[in-house]
């Protein structure tokens, strides 16, 4: 562990000059997510296969300028700032005398906390009469259709740009979104934001955490170590995506409210039959351990052991043309549920995939209206973003879109 002091930072787009603060920076150790710092630069954007951090701050932004150059410069500035913050550095000076501090300062003294920032572009960026990018819209970046039971609230949906900031420290994550919001001003403004905690696991070396319903979440995920699964299901390729998206991924976000009052009053057996897994062990019904295989054919007394409407049956690849998604969601709490008086919590469901047309959309069609979980949840927010590939320090995220 050591202290670093940087007196001057010159970065693309003019972000961050004249830094005069000490910032505790822990040494990086090898491997994605293994150390305290996760490199911002690389072939893929960080924050997708990065072992899920403890906290998220998600922001969807509307671009208020109609200038393509403004959009490009915003991505330049954001990329430079994200790279600094991933190293545990402020985005500018805190000691500015009469002028407002460039960096807001709340993360001073905190480690990088494996901060990652993942940027995405929504379908509206490619709309007519926006930036002239109609011809660059990727086929997989569809407008999500409506699904049975949707209870979407307009203000919690969509966005021209999506920014997923994750970190193992909640203040570091907040500082990330706070800084990017300030850097965006006059070009983009937040449309909806949500803070989350209690991650879904996406790595074999992570213990599987529990969601707000008390069940382990992430057991049968596409795992960070599964390189074959990642190229098959997560990374965009030429076969379905334009050149500027190759090596990127499509992110679908759903704000799913959990009706916790009713769930908490549901018997354990019924809770377990809803998911098709045991609550404490996470094992599939009919099995012993969390990692035991799911036997969808097992029957007892003529009835399926994993009920016909159980969440893990309907979400299983066997029911979805062999398709899978990388889930990277977080729990959230957002006030009090009226009129029941229970906590208004839920899942900020975030998933990454190569083509939502054959992954999220059909899987959600299969679940919506049929999944036993539907009685206990409500989809209130929805968005989709194309997350370009990663970048080298000489470039910025999304650069090839502007070639
Ligand atoms: C509040 C809403 C949701 C909750 C609480 C929830 C919870 C869970 C839990 C506890 C599991 C079993 C453990 C695991 O494998 O992670 C699971 C599995 C899964 N969920 Fe969800 N989920 C929700 C919504 C969704 C949605 C909207 C989708 C996709 C459209 C989805 C797709 C999946 C998939 C693909 C699996 C793995 C199935 C398998 O192969 O066994 N989930 N979910």
141-159 residue pLDDT tens: 999 999 999 999 999 999 9
Least confident of 24-33, 91-100, 242-251, 296-305: 24-33
In this structure, the number of other CB atoms found within 10 A of the CB of residue 389 comes to 20
Residue 264 pLDDT: 94
Residue with more model confidence, 276 or 3: 276
Is the pLDDT at 15 greater than 60? The verdict is no
Q: Model's pTM, two decimal places?
A: 0.92
Of the pLDDT bands very low, low, confident and very high (cuts 50, 70, 90), residue 3 is: very low
Segment 90-107 shows an average pLDDT of 97
Is the pLDDT at 9 greater than 70? The verdict is no
Is the pLDDT at 21 greater than 90? The verdict is no
Of the pLDDT bands very low, low, confident and very high (cuts 50, 70, 90), residue 124 is: very high
Pocket test for ligand 1, best of 315, 320, 350, 375 (most atoms within 8 A of CB): 315
Residue 19 pLDDT: 34
Q: How far is the CA of 42 from the centre of ligand 1 (A)?
A: 29
pLDDT in tens, 338-397: 777 889 999 999 999 999 999 999 999 999 999 999 999 999 999 999 999 999 999 999
Is the pLDDT at 20 greater than 80? The verdict is no
Is the pLDDT at 12 greater than 90? The verdict is no
In this structure, the number of other CB atoms found within 10 A of the CB of residue 209 comes to 17
Is the pLDDT at 34 greater than 90? The verdict is no
The token pair at 386 is 């194309």
Pocket test for ligand 1, best of 251, 312, 319 (most atoms within 8 A of CB): 312
Q: What is the Cα–Cα distance from 305 to 371, expressed in whole angstroms?
A: 16
Segment 202-209 shows an average pLDDT of 90
Is the CB of 363 inside a 6 Å radius of any atom of ligand 1? yes
The atom of ligand 1 lying closest to the CA of 325 is 35
Is the CB of 348 inside a 6 Å radius of any atom of ligand 1? no
Is the CB of 332 inside a 6 Å radius of any atom of ligand 1? no
The token pair at 241 is 């995506």
pLDDT in tens, 304-323: 999 999 999 999 999 999 99
Is the CB of 258 inside a 6 Å radius of any atom of ligand 1? yes
Is the CB of 330 inside a 6 Å radius of any atom of ligand 1? no
The backbone torsions φ and ψ at residue 82, rounded to the nearest 5 degrees and listed phi first, read -65, -40
Q: How far is the CA of 373 from the centre of ligand 1 (A)?
A: 10
SS3 for the chain is CEEEECCCCCCHHHCCCCCCCEEEECCCCCCCCCCCCCCCCCCCCCCCCCCCCCEEEEEEEEECCCCHHHHHHHHHHHHHHHHHHHCCCCCCCCCCCCCCCCCCCCCCCCCCCCCEEEEEECHHHHCCCCCCCHHHCCCCCCCCCCCCCCCCCHHHCCCCEEEEEEECCHHHHHHHHHHHHHHHCCCEEEEEEEEEEEECCCCCCCCCCECCCCCECCCCCCCCCCHHHHHHHCCCCCCCCCHHHCCCEEEEEEEEEECHHHHHCCCHHHHHHHHCECCCCCCECCCCCCCCCCCCCCEECCEECCCCCCHHHHCCHHHCCCCCCEECCEEEEEEEECCCCEEEEEEEEEEEECCCCCCHHHHHHHHCCCCHHHHHEEEEEEEEEEECCCCCCCCCCCHHHHC
Is the CB of 276 inside a 6 Å radius of any atom of ligand 1? no
Of the pLDDT bands very low, low, confident and very high (cuts 50, 70, 90), residue 35 is: very low
Nearest CA residue ID for atom 10, ligand 1: 217
Q: What is the Cα–Cα distance from 301 to 322, expressed in whole angstroms?
A: 29
Is the pLDDT at 23 greater than 50? The verdict is no
Is the CB of 160 inside a 6 Å radius of any atom of ligand 1? no
Is the pLDDT at 58 greater than 70? The verdict is yes
Residue 339 pLDDT: 73
The token pair at 315 is 């979400």
Looking at the chain, the whole-number percentage of residues with pLDDT higher than 70 is 91
Is the CB of 38 inside a 6 Å radius of any atom of ligand 1? no
């Amino acid at each position: 562990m050591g202290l670093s002091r940087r007196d001057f930072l010159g970065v693309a787009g003019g972000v961050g000059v004249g830094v005069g603060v000490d910032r505790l920076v822990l040494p990086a150790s090898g491997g994605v997510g293994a150390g305290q710092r996760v490199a911002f630069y690389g072939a893929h954007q960080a924050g997708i296969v990065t072992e899920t951090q403890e906290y998220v701050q998600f922001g969807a932004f509307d671009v208020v300028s109609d200038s393509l150059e403004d959009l490009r410069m915003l991505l330049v500035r954001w990329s430079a700032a994200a790279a600094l913050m991933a190293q545990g550095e402020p985005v500018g000076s805190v000691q500015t005398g009469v002028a407002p501090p460039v960096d807001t300062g709340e993360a001073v003294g905190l480690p990088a906390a494996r901060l990652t920032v993942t940027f995405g572009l929504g379908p509206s960026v490619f709309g007519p009469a926006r930036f002239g990018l109609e011809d660059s819209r990727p086929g997989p970046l569809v407008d999500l259709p409506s699904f049975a039971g949707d209870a979407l609230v307009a203000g919690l949906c969509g966005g021209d740009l999506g920014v997923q900031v994750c970190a193992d420290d909640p203040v570091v994550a907040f500082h990330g979104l706070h800084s990017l919001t300030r850097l965006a001003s006059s070009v983009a403004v937040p449309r909806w934001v949500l803070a989350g905690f209690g991650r879904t696991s996406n790595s074999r070396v992570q213990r599987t955490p529990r969601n707000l319903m008390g069940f382990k979440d992430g057991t049968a995920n596409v795992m960070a170590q599964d390189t074959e699964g990642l190229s098959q299901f997560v990374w965009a390729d030429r076969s379905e995506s334009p050149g500027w998206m190759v090596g990127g991924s499509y992110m679908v976000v759903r704000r799913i409210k959990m009706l916790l009052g009713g769930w908490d009053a549901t018997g354990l057996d019924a809770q377990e039959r809803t998911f098709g897994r045991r609550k404490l062990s996470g094992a599939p019904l009919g099995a012993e351990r969390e990692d035991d295989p799911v036997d969808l054919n097992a029957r007892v007394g003529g009835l399926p052991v994993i009920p016909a409407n159980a969440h893990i049956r309907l979400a299983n690849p066997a029911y979805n043309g062999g398709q899978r998604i990388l889930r990277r969601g977080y729990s959230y709490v957002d006030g009090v549920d009226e009129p029941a008086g229970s906590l208004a919590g839920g899942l900020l469901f975030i998933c990454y995939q190569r083509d939502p047309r054959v992954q999220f959309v059909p899987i959600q069609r299969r679940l919506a209206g049929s999944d036993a979980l539907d009685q206990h949840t409500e989809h209130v927010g929805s968005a989709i973003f194309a997350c370009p590939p990663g970048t080298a320090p000489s470039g910025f995220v999304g650069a090839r879109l502007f070639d």
